[in-house]
A and B are shown apart, each in its own frame.
Chain A
């Protein structure tokens, strides 16, 4: 059986293209605040696991439906000569005089006539009066089953109730809510359920989509966890080594090397964010530059890895660290290993010592300057939390959302002590193996791979925990 074809039709600028974007997980369709962005209808197929499961027809918006209805009424014929809806529409499409004025509407009608189901998209902010009523009547003439889709929903002063009333009055009984921007999974599901009811022969398709989606979701999560773990190992193991003629020279180069080192870490982190976004289908920028801006990845990374405030927000809390200490049986040992021995100075000094500590170790050995690795105890969790933050932004993001993804805006999720413990253990391992870092080289060490795996486990657990939270919202 060929894929079910669903045409999205409605007034100009109500979010038809946005819905196609969200439904097909394609963030590259042209969406714009100016009416008339979509000029001709097109078929957008949706493939899952290499299998075409659905096809959507995106259409230009209606602007003059009332006049078209008038034309159709005038040309519909009388009595026994009366043309049926589709025939009048065909006559209208053929009529040359109206083409200049209504070319976009004709395009939309052509698209609609190809479809098995029409989804009439409504922007609930608008009044369900005037032209939009005319549009529903116009579309009903096509004799294609129709479903009402309420978009742009928000709590409080929307007009959903009035829309439902109007659509029912005009003979559209199937009505679902489907917010293109938030696009909750439950709404998409109910959209599919409604379609399944209207087109029972395609019921299996929707079951199949559900299953494929679940698999894909699972895959994405694991891939994101691996990407994060790779980033972590690369960053935690990284050591920047330069050789110089004399010790003096090396000393002079020290601050430059430091900057270079940080910069390379930053770039590696960004690349990590990028790959997480890619996994979830936010790789490409839209033609109009309106969608996810790749540039903004550098621009929007507001929190610097080395910013004290970032450390405070994403770092592990003192309480957790204490718990970690208890877990390992030796609080001092954990911290001492990272050179934060100053901590034991007293209760008041404890907190400050946690944030600060020696962050980047630098050593000069007869002309060889080594910067890194970062051995601040907070650093692994900062990296991890920022990466997870990025993932949270994209994991359940609607593909209709063209706003920039801002990394570092949210508060980091705290890890539980057991997770921190393994994270720190792995991080410590990394910091002793500069050769594991992929920054500036190719890692191929089997032990590194094992560490990446261990790291992946930690990350994956965290992502799963968070996914549950995301889905609750």
Chain B
């Protein structure tokens, strides 16, 4: 799967997570199954189909669609911009390394510093930082934010957070970031070398070294001996000789005199220069190619492989397995599975793993209140969560048997993936309700989606306690929170304000 496609898949998942939707949306599963390309599609392709269908069906607001596109667009833009910047940087670096030939000689130290030391330092830094990023990419939130800045204000908050989540959840960000960095340096060093070769072919340059640290000629000779060791086998590339090094020391160059700051070569040394120049050109270019460029080329491949590995890993995670399981065309097979998972006595049903419940969506559970109308579910956008269509009711708050039965069903292999637990907002958010919500969370699993829906808000607001509506919602949120349902998953059928 390409990175661009993968981003779509990740975005769809991030959206589901953020909404607290079912990880496998039954309605989307239905759509994908009917898709013409479905039968022949491979696993990853099915995941992509699922993501596309989900985004199409559930993010009907345009904003979300645009967000997915904007992340993909940003990736495409980066894959053009980064090499372009690399070429520009390489050109600039070479320009800095090569002064006009009649002004002063080329500094071999600067050449090596730009071609080897600088990329080397950045390589180490990149490796370190991507290592760190592999653990936590929380810091990269602002990158996502910056990306969405380009797309305008409306996208920033919600989509910025979403994009941040996409970056965060797959772990693809570190290798991807490294990959871009390596591509940048390959392009800039390639340009540096190519342009250098071209310049040296048509222009005569003089080379010298000088040092504010008191390097001796021997030390420089030894240094270049080491640097050129891996390239000495190339015909025409020789480690600079001691004589060459000594003659190239800036102070010992025969200077005819300075005229207006320009350096004029003395004719006496012209012969010696010929030898010096040729000797330096080839060895310097070879050193940059081997020490600077080569590691970066290798790094491009390894980081690309790492990105691919991360993508694959993400496509094989439990969520992917759940989606694929739900998509696989034998729904009756699931009924047969318990034989395999229950080798021992089936007297006490083990809580089913979440994969067993793939594609079942979220049940609506009512607790001593009437079921919410479809219109309410639509208005609150809860119908986007992948509801199962099943409404289970606990008629009375003292019916322990009904509660036990509901919880048992939620935890069983036939159970839904999550639940929307509905209460009347006028009911008192007490310990009993807290306990029940906590049991629901426990039954479907901590990482599954559980929502709390409070109905009858209008009536409550009209009652004498109406002015306390906001406090009542807060009390419900507190109860839900203690039971393990985050506050943003508590919905009321009327707005809190006004």
Chain A contacts to B: CB under 8 angstroms: 11-14, 33-36, 61, 63-67, 70, 104, 123, 125-127, 129-131, 133-134, 152-154, 157, 181, 403
Contact = CB atoms under 8 A, between A and B. Distances in A.
Nearest to B397: A130
Contact of A67 (B400, B427, B460): B400
A64 to B, nearest CB: 6
B426 interface: yes
A33 B427 CA distance: 12
A349 B188 CA distance: 88
B274 interface: no
A130 B399 contact: yes
A96 to B, nearest CB: 19
A131 B432 contact: yes
A157 B459 contact: yes
Given A125-B465, A152-B465, A11 B430 contact: yes
A11 B426 CA distance: 13
B347 to A, nearest CB: 24
B475 A33 contact: yes
Given A11-B430, A152-B464, 8 more contacts: A33-B471, A36-B430, A61-B430, A63-B432, A64-B431, A125-B426, A125-B463, A129-B368
8 contacts: A11-B430, A35-B428, A35-B429, A125-B465, A130-B368, A130-B396, A152-B464, A157-B459
A159 B396 CA distance: 17
B256 to A, nearest CB: 85
A350 B478 CA distance: 60
Contact of B431 (A63, A66, A123, A130): A63
A405 B474 CA distance: 24
A448 B459 CA distance: 56
Interface in B455-498: 459-460, 463-465, 467-468, 471-472, 474-475, 478-479
B463 A34 contact: no
Interface in B427-441: 427-432
Contacts of A133: 398
B430 A63 contact: yes
B464 A14 contact: no
B393 to A, nearest CB: 13
Contact of B428 (A11, A66, A134): A11
A130 B431 CA distance: 15
B399 to A, nearest CB: 7
A35 B430 contact: yes
Contacts, number: 72
A30 to B, nearest CB: 14
A33 B471 CA distance: 6
Given A133-B398, A152-B465, A33 B430 contact: no
Q: Which of B368, B432, B471 has the most CB of A within 10 A?
A: B432
B398 A34 contact: no
A127 B456 CA distance: 13
Nearest to A64: B432
- The residue among A34, A65, A157 with the most chain B CB atoms within 10 A of its own CB is A34
Nearest to A179: B464
B465 A13 contact: no
A435 to B, nearest CB: 47
A104 B432 CA distance: 13
B398 A66 contact: yes
Contacts of A126: 426-428
Given A12-B428, A13-B428, A126-B427, A33 B468 contact: yes
Given A127-B368, A152-B464, A157-B459, A66 B400 contact: yes
Nearest to B428: A13
Nearest to B468: A33
B478 to A, nearest CB: 6
B464 A181 contact: yes
A70 B460 CA distance: 32
Pairs of residues from A and B, 8 with the lowest C-beta to C-beta distance, nearest first: A66-B398, A33-B471, A130-B397, A63-B431, A130-B396, A35-B430, A63-B430, A130-B398
A35 B479 CA distance: 9
Contacts of A157: 459, 463
A63 B398 CA distance: 10
Contacts of B479: 35
Contacts of A63: 430-432
A154 B466 CA distance: 12
A154 B427 CA distance: 17
B432 to A, nearest CB: 5
Nearest to B474: A33
A11 B432 CA distance: 11
Nearest to A35: B430
Interface centre among B368, B464, B468, B472 (most CB of A within 10 A): B464
Contacts of A403: 467
B472 A33 contact: yes
Contacts of A181: 464
Contacts of B428: 11-14, 35, 61, 123, 126
A129 B395 CA distance: 10
Nearest to A34: B475
Contacts of A61: 428, 430
Nearest to B464: A154
Contacts of B465: 125, 152
B407 to A, nearest CB: 15
A34 B399 contact: no
B429 A154 contact: no
A63 B434 CA distance: 10
Nearest to A403: B467
A133 to B, nearest CB: 7
Nearest to B462: A157
Interface string B387-410: 000000000111110000000000
Contacts of A34: 429, 474-475, 478
A390 B256 CA distance: 103
B431 A35 contact: yes
Contacts of A131: 397-398, 432
Given A33-B474, A125-B463, A125-B465, A13 B398 contact: no
Nearest to A182: B464
A360 B334 CA distance: 89
B396 A129 contact: yes
Contacts of A11: 428, 430
B396 A12 contact: no
Nearest to B478: A34
Contact of B398 (A14, A33, A65, A123): A65
B380 to A, nearest CB: 23
A125 B459 CA distance: 10
Contacts of B463: 125, 152, 154, 157
A70 B426 CA distance: 26
A132 B439 CA distance: 22
A278 B140 CA distance: 58
B467 to A, nearest CB: 8
B431 A12 contact: yes
Contacts of A65: 398
